[in-house]
Amino acid sequence: MSNISTHSHEQHDEHHDHGPAKGLLRWVFTTNHKDIGTLYLVFSLIMLFVGGTFSLVIRAELFQPGLQFVHPDFFNQMTTMHALIMVFGMIMPAFVGFANWMIPMMIGAPDMALPRLNNWSFWILPFAGTLLLSTLFMDGGAPASGWTLYPPLVLQTGNALPFAIFAVHLLGISSILGAINIIVTILNMRAPGMTLLKMPLFVWTWLITAYLLIAVMPVLAGGVTMLLTDAFFGTSFFQAAGGGDPVLFQHIFWFFGHPEVYIIILPAFGIISQVIPTFARKPLFGYSSMVYATAGIAFLSFIVWAHHMFTVGMPLAGQLFFMLSTMLIAIPTGVKIFNWTATMWRGSLSFETPMLFALAFLFLFTIGGFSGLMLAIAPADFQYHDSYFVVAHFHYVLVPGGLFGAIAGAYYWLPKWTGHMYDEKLGKIHFWLSAIFVNLLFFPQHFLGLAGMPRRIPDYAVQFADFNMLSSIGAFGFGFSQLLFVYIVIKCVRGGEKAGAKAWDGAEGLEWTLPSPPPYHTFEEAPVVK
């Protein structure tokens, strides 16, 4: 821990010396970026298991044809809550946690620029998450519309709808506050000599992600507020009977929703760009092209939203535009994949747990990218749309993509955070269990979708039984494997082999992050450049 963090805790303890409560109040009132990063990461880990439990309800129901365990309406509530909790409660807070911990250290800043705002942006989250989960216990239950909240279906939710919408607003506010803090920190608090093009790539990906968040979160807020007024105040934004258009909501939602998937994946790209150079023991190949590729992906993410809507009756010109602009995203993404591969080329590779997760990320995220290209082809999309092929596609991007990126980051920085090495042998077991089960879970879903199985249904025709059974076995295997991860983290936090100044053997001179060209910095203080 840096002097700064020790100092702020000492100050804190003077003010709140109330015996046993002292330890708890430190976490409630903390403005220290490391503490807040830890809070975010612990919260996201808890939400991983909450959202994961919902997905296991879904997969248990789909283990065989027929209706086994849950009412169809509750099944659809599970699909909605699983997605909302995983996106807003798990993966985004995890990456904000990484940002809080690492960005100040990577740019030589003493803390985040707005420490009290930082505290507030975290503490909104548990209340928002609880509010969202509470809709399951309300009259009529949670929205059964999927995370997209499409009208007219979502307008039949009943009394829980305003609570769900308010929870989404709070989650969005938390994200926007975190993003403002990250931008101000990066632009105003870099150490002397740390120019923008000397920043580690993780910092770059978060700077771009933060701008995306500020741009699209208000769009979602506007869309769900219009839903609210349609349901309770007699407006007809999305109700055809009153002259509205349900497809308008789809445009609003996906104008938020498509940049949102890049908000999820870009920080993972940043983590992978730190991990691969360390274990290849050479600088990242094509640093500046990686920065421009990230910016290119972010820009293009704003002009492809209607590829989610090819089947709504779009004019041919619209289909062509969205098809071609979507395919264009493959170019900067391909640049990234190529550069990561080139970084490893002729490197001195070693395969510790973070590197294994990074390699799995590279391979499996690419599968998700290719199935995305298939979905981008408008005439083909008429066949794939709303089938399990789409489910397979976005889960390959978000699970071996986003989640594996986060897990790689956690293993990579745990020695720095705790001062202890995690159990490498258990880490490798966790990796292999996760990698095998995640493919058993999602790969068969490609075949189900191509064979015509629709998504978001609790029952299915008997010819889909075998692949669904495999998928469900994979789901339970993958879910329970993550309990091992929790054990590894707790074991590491509580002690173990001391991590030296360079935790990763042989990565001399590479330190913990690897911008290219490397500025001189030790993370705790940066020298003044004359």
With respect to residue 529, please indicate whether it lies within any of the assigned structural domains.
no
Tell the residue number behind the tokens 């790689």, with chain if given: 408
Tell the residue number behind the tokens 């699983």, with chain if given: 82
CA angle 367, 319, 244 (to 5 degrees): 115
70: number of Cβ within 10 Å = 16
Q: What pLDDT band is residue 14 in, cutting at 50, 70 and 90?
A: very low
- Tell me the CATH number at 134: 1.20.210.10
With respect to residue 252, please indicate whether it lies within any of the assigned structural domains.
yes
| CA 212/CA 263 separation, integer angstroms | 7
Contact 247, 148 (CB under 8 A): no
Kindly report, residue by residue over 69-127, the tens digit of the pLDDT: 999 999 999 999 999 999 999 999 999 999 999 999 999 999 999 999 999 999 999 99
Kindly report, residue by residue over 226-281, the tens digit of the pLDDT: 999 999 999 999 999 999 999 999 999 999 999 999 999 999 999 999 999 999 99
Q: Which residues pair with 387 in a beta bridge?
A: 454
With respect to residue 384, please indicate whether it lies within any of the assigned structural domains.
yes
Question: Does 520 score more than 50 pLDDT?
Answer: no
Give catalytic residues, as residue numbers: 82, 111, 147, 174-175, 258, 260, 262, 273, 307-308, 333, 336, 455
With respect to residue 520, please indicate whether it lies within any of the assigned structural domains.
no
Question: Is 11 buried (19+), middle (13-18) or exposed (0-12) by CB count in 10 A?
Answer: exposed
Reduced 3-state DSSP string for 258-313: HHHHHHHHHHHHHHHHHHHHHHHCCCCCCHHHHHHHHHHHHHHHHHCHHHHHHHHC
With respect to residue 275, please indicate whether it lies within any of the assigned structural domains.
yes
Tell the residue number behind the tokens 């420490």, with chain if given: 115
With respect to residue 19, please indicate whether it lies within any of the assigned structural domains.
no
Question: Does 519 score more than 80 pLDDT?
Answer: no
Question: Does 403 score more than 70 pLDDT?
Answer: yes
Reduced 3-state DSSP string for 403-439: HHHHHHHHHHHHHHHHCECCCHHHHHHHHHHHHHHHH
With respect to residue 521, please indicate whether it lies within any of the assigned structural domains.
no
With respect to residue 4, please indicate whether it lies within any of the assigned structural domains.
no
- Amino acid at the residue 219: V
**Residue range(s) defining the domain that contains residue 55:** 31-513
Number of domains in the chain: 1
